[in-house]
């Protein structure tokens, strides 16, 4: 599937927000986004238990009966389809064998599989997943996860949701280069510790080394100006908090601007 062609003149992606971006939330933004993201969804007992612990301390998470996973996915994807966007699903798991069947269900119903290498919550980090997958000492785990998903032959693009500055950009590039055959895109949160603006230098270096991959740039994008700056080094950009604040008028304007220029800025 040609993701960028399917997105057309819509360069903005709705990023996953735990406990928030379900099918109903995604579906209410009709014709606004190129991609909407469900999740993050837990695929095994370990990650579901971690989410339950997070909820106890007040964090929003998606909690559900794993035995009802297929029915839940069908319902949420159908609701999200109201957006007229591609449907990506952000996933977390510790045990691939336990999660395999659920990944295959997602492959039947969604358009993109996005592996969460981004979550920094203590309960997920303790499992050695989320942003921990970006570290060199966990490269073999990341490789096993990606290779196993790839070998399911679902014919759906595989993306990685990645947080910048968990490791130096050189280490991230080196690690991802070792698994580059197993994924199609990088959804990069340009997290800039201690700053209220994205680390553009980080995404620029990633773009330079992965020119054949689809890059989605994320972090502190609240206006057309912010979007255009990020799109210098990415194919798409994603938003989250500005949507929660109701700051979306600029996205409609941005879509019109791109459309009037024939999908080019």
Both tokens assigned to 204: 């620029």
From its phi and psi, is residue 148 left (phi > 0), alpha (psi between -120 and 50) or beta? alpha
- For 65, which DSSP code? -
| 265 found inside a domain | no
pTM over 0.95: yes
**Domain hosting residue 198, numbered range:** 3-260
* Structural contact between residues 194 and 224, judged by C-beta atoms closer than 8 angstroms: no
Q: Considering its fold, how many domains does the chain have in total?
A: 1
Q: Are 43 and 102 in contact (CB under 8 A)?
A: yes
Q: What is the pLDDT of residue 265?
A: 65
Q: Assess if residue 146 is contained within a domain.
A: yes
| CA angle centred on 169, ends 36 and 135, rounded to 5° | 80
Residues forming beta bridges with residue 90, ordered by sequence position: 39, 114
Q: What is the pLDDT along the chain (265 residues), one digit of tens a residue?
A: 799 999 999 999 999 999 999 999 999 999 999 999 999 999 999 999 999 999 999 999 999 999 999 999 999 999 999 999 999 999 999 999 999 999 999 999 999 999 999 999 999 999 999 999 999 999 999 999 999 999 999 999 999 999 999 999 999 999 999 999 999 999 999 999 999 999 999 999 999 999 999 999 999 999 999 999 999 999 999 999 999 999 999 999 999 999 987 766 6
pLDDT at 261 (0 to 100): 77
Task: Establish if 236 belongs to a structural domain.
Answer: yes
The whole-angstrom distance between residue 256's C-alpha and the CA centroid of its chain comes to: 24
Is 164 within the bounds of a domain? yes
Cα separation values, 220 from 119, 128, 146, 154, 187, Å: 17, 27, 28, 33, 14
| CATH number, residue 87 | 3.20.20.70
What radius of gyration, in Å, describes the C-alpha atoms of the chain? 17
């Amino acid at each position: 599937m040609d993701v960028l062609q399917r997105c057309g003149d819509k360069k903005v992606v709705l990023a996953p927000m735990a406990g928030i971006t379900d099918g109903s939330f995604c579906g209410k933004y009709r014709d606004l986004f190129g991609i909407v993201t469900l999740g993050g969804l837990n695929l095994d007992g370990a990650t579901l238990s971690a989410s339950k612990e997070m909820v106890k301390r007040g964090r929003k998470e998606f909690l559900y009966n794993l035995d009802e996973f297929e029915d839940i996915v069908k319902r949420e994807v159908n609701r999200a389809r109201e957006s007229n966007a591609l449907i990506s699903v952000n996933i977390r798991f510790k045990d691939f064998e336990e999660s395999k069947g659920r990944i295959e269900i997602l492959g039947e119903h969604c358009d993109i599989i996005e592996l969460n290498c981004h979550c920094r919550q203590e309960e997920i980090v303790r499992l050695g997943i989320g942003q921990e997958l970006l570290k060199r000492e966990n490269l073999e785990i990341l490789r096993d996860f990606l290779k196993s998903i790839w070998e399911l032959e679902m014919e759906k693009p595989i993306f990685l949701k990645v947080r910048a500055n968990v490791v130096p950009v050189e280490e991230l590039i080196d690690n991802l280069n070792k698994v580059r055959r197993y994924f199609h895109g990088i959804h990069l949160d340009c997290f800039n510790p201690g700053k209220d603006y994205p680390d553009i230098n980080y995404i620029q270096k990633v773009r330079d080394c992965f020119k054949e991959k689809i890059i989605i740039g994320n972090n502190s994008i609240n206006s057309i100006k912010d979007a255009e700056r990020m799109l210098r080094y990415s194919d798409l950009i994603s938003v989250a908090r500005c949507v929660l604040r109701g700051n979306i008028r600029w996205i409609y304007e941005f879509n019109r601007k791109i459309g009037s220029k024939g999908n080019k800025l």
